[in-house]
Amino acid sequence: MLRQLLRGAALSLVTTAAMAAAPDATLQASLQKVADQARPGTLGVLVMDPATGQSVSVNASRPYLMMSTFKAPIAAAVLSQVDAGKLTLDHKVHLTPSDIVDGSAVPSVGATLKAGARDFTVDELLHGAVTQSDNTAVDALLRVIGGGSVATRFLEGNGVRGMRIDMGEGELSRLFETKGVDAVLASHVDSTTPEAAAAFLRKLQAGELLSADSTRKLLGLMTAQVIPNRIRAGLPAGYQLADKTGTSGTRDGRMAAFNDIGIITAPDGQQRIVVVLLAEARATPEQATTWFAEIGKLVAASM
């Protein structure tokens, strides 16, 4: 009798484990189908349950060019200096028209500077960099903290390995012009693996990188970011996303990078970390956007 009970219990455990694994297996297969559509480009995807650390992924071991997704970890490095008392949010940074770096999701810091030099607070620059994806703002913040190597050391010191920040938007743009897309991608500058991006987001969400106030601030800036498409476009009503996008633009019909990383929160409070990084795709931004929206829809359905 005891043997039969034990056998029944074991069978129940196996069945329960199989049922628990089934959604992940289904999601894995669905993500692979989306990634296949991006060929000959490479679509890297990682979806993680931050409560358990369990994840499913596709093409997740290689590095991808971050572009503006690096603005979230740079903002974290800045806020870590605020937490340490080395900076304050109201610290003034003087910028002139010569500091303008083209690129912003909306008229922001760079556009304001066209009227002439002015001072910006660190708080204003954080809002410009993360929420409005302003390149002038993020390059100014990098200078304030001492450069990309400082941001990288902050990440590595907190256990985020595989994400590197080498330079700002202006220098990267010049590198594209002088060296070309292939050379930039081969150098792995300003790059991350999906695993590293997920680790950054998980540690941020868990309060392991910053103080409680700074954590809330950065997640709030990410939630308010102004680009409404990509992962966000696929989420049902009531789902929230704190994310940062990144785009290289298209050259000769090829996108070097088209990205979105973030934390989805369902109406019931469940969360998923989602990293979607697209490299060297021969697709229009509109086509890539549909892939990202589909991934958002698939993840929400799996929660």
- Say if CB 140 and CB 118 are below 8 A apart: no
Among candidate residues 171, 173, 211, 302, the one labeled active-site is 171
Among candidate residues 30, 55, 57, 68, the one labeled active-site is 68
Instruction: Please name the residue ranges forming H helices in the chain.
Output: 2-37, 71-83, 109-113, 122-126, 135-145, 148-157, 169-179, 181-187, 194-205, 212-223, 285-302
Catalytic, 68? Answer yes
Pairing state between β 118-121 and 92-95: antiparallel
Catalytic, 187? Answer no
Q: Which residues have a catalytic role annotated?
A: 68, 171
